[in-house]
Amino acid sequence: MVTACGPMGRADASDRGSSKEDEEEVPTPVVTTKVAQGEISAQIKATSTIEAERMVTVHAESTGRITELSFEEGDDVKEGQLLARIKQDVQRSGLERASTSLSQAKRDLETVRRLFDRGVASQDELTAAELAFDNAQLDVSDRRRDVRNTRVIAPFAGTVTERFASEGAFVTAGAQVLSIVDFDTLVARVFVPEKELDRLEVGQDAEVVGKAARGRQGIGTLRRIAPVVDATTGTVKLTVGLPSELVGGETGFLPGMYAEVTLTTETRPSATLVPKQALVYDEEQPFLFVADGDRVKRVQVELGLSDRDNAEVLAGVAIGDEVVLAGHAGLKDGGLITRVDESGRPVEGPEAKPAEAKPAEAKPAEASEAKEATEVAAGGA
């Protein structure tokens, strides 16, 4: 049996060489950055609607026609100031009748007492007269209160924000008349996860920024932390007070405005920082790909504080280490890399792998000699 050789054998060798070339590792293009040192703060952000802690709707406590109501929306009022007056002729008449009844009950009681002292009136008669006198006194007190209730009084100092009735209108007891807001008590109430509770304390600063109404921004104070956790949501209610300079006016907050509250719970001025974009996670465990020459190492790291852009690394890498920022897809521990910029162009520099020199092109004479040598060798074979 004759074994095939020559060109066929050379073809087999060529295939093996081609297969070897196909198995050569292809470098992964990556964007890298350096681990830096800087300041980082842990922050809690939550949204809120601005509201006043002292806000009340004043109701009429008597029935009748409003004879005086001169306040409009936006007017300031003082505590105890007369807001409105309701016609009080019916209430006055009731007070006069009660006063007359009280005078009569007083005279009856004096008469029965004299008779009782003489032994003419019985103890039951004296007790009944005393009871009638007491009831007459209570009736006068009630009628006087009815007269007082025709005057609508401001319960505290503030600003009229809404008027529900007009002068001359007929109102019944319980009808809305005015709304008053104390703008010095504006607060933002926010809800934060209970895990943040130990990092908060009353008195710390809180930044308040208007979301819909632009140009409203300032520093408030955490006034209260609720003593209970909402079991349904797992959150704690915080009350952030707004200082007077953030209240009212063209650039101040108003009740009902939408705002974002930011509380800074901790700041570290010299932290080891990496961009969050550089982190990769494997079952919630964070890793970084650290560049070592033209290859990378997959390093497990321990994280500390974090903000919107950066994360603090407590262990795993050091300041100045080069880490992969982009290009993680398909990257593995010990993988070959080539550095590129954000546009995908190769990066030249001390950390970039020098390009391999290309073999020089053969001169025409040398190429002819090489060709002849090849043909001779083939003929000999």
Same domain, 79 and 94: no
Per-residue model confidence (pLDDT) at position 325: 93
Q: Are 212 and 218 in contact (CB under 8 A)?
A: no
Q: Does residue 192 lie within any of the structural domains?
A: yes
CATH number of residue 145's parent domain: 1.10.287
Largest separation between any pair of C-alpha atoms in the chain: 166
What is the per-residue pLDDT for 267?
Answer: 87
Q: Which domain holds residue 245?
A: 45-53+183-267
Q: What is the CATH number of the domain that holds 65?
A: 2.40.50.100
**Cα separation, 272 vs 40, whole angstroms:** 9
Phi, psi of 285, rounded to the nearest 5 degrees:
-95, 125
Q: For each of the chain's 381 residues, which pLDDT tens digit applies?
A: 444 444 444 445 445 554 555 567 888 999 999 999 999 988 888 999 999 999 999 999 999 999 999 899 999 999 999 999 999 999 999 999 999 999 999 999 999 999 999 988 899 999 999 999 999 999 999 999 999 999 999 999 999 999 999 999 999 999 999 999 999 999 999 999 998 888 899 999 999 998 887 778 889 999 999 999 999 999 999 999 998 888 877 778 989 999 999 998 888 999 999 999 999 998 889 999 999 999 999 999 999 988 888 999 999 999 999 999 998 888 899 999 999 988 888 886 544 443 333 343 444 444 444 444 444 333 443
Do 64 and 136 fall within a single domain? no
In a domain, 288, yes or no: yes
Tell me, yes or no, whether 262 and 195 share the same domain.
yes
**Cβ atoms 266, 276 nearer than 8 A:** no
Q: What is the pLDDT of residue 361?
A: 43
- Domains identified in the chain, total number: 4
Q: For the domain that residue 331 is a member of, what is the CATH number?
A: 2.40.420.20
Statement to judge: residues 189 and 263 lie in one domain = yes
Helix, strand and coil in the chain, % to nearest 5: 25, 40, 35
Strands 295-300 and 285-292: antiparallel
Instruction: Please report, in angstroms and rounded to a whole number, the separation of the first and last CA atoms in the chain.
Output: 20
CATH number for position 243:
2.40.30.170
